[in-house]
Amino acid sequence: MTSDQALSISLGLQGPCVIARLTGDFDFGSAAEVRDRVTKALDLTQPPMLIIDMQAVSVCDSSGLSVLVYLHKAVTASGGRLMLSGLNGRCKHLFAITALDKFFEIRPTAELAIAELSEEGNSPPFTG
């Protein structure tokens, strides 16, 4: 079941962090646009510190998950960090059943993620 709510992407910079706020359906129809727009925004900070706020995402399918994994690899390959924030019930469940909740750093809110990444500044990512 889908909600057919077009995805909107809001990109911004706060401190050392690029913040991508997604609203709507993060699915096959929107995945390529998210990948392209967020990848271009990664050049705004070095190393890239990216927060993807999914609080207003109503649907996330395998295409959306694939883009998130792609972005994670791009960010970490550049020595940066990616955090997800605001996973709601459906998305949180999807991340749990795919074990991606163990792969990604997930925070309850974008503000907590911003505070953590801002505090650490340019510290290397945890690789343990």
Say what the pLDDT of residue 98 is.
Answer: 95
Which pLDDT belongs to residue 3? Answer: 54
pTM over 0.85: yes
Q: Which residues, given as ranges, of the chain have pLDDT below 50? A: 1-2, 122-128
Cis upstream peptide for 47 (omega within 30°): yes
Q: DSSP strand E in 6-92: where?
A: 8-14, 17-26, 49-60, 81-85
| 114-123 pLDDT, tens digit each | 999 988 754 4
Tokens representing 109?
Answer: 């809110």
The Cα 106–Cα 114 span in angstroms is: 12
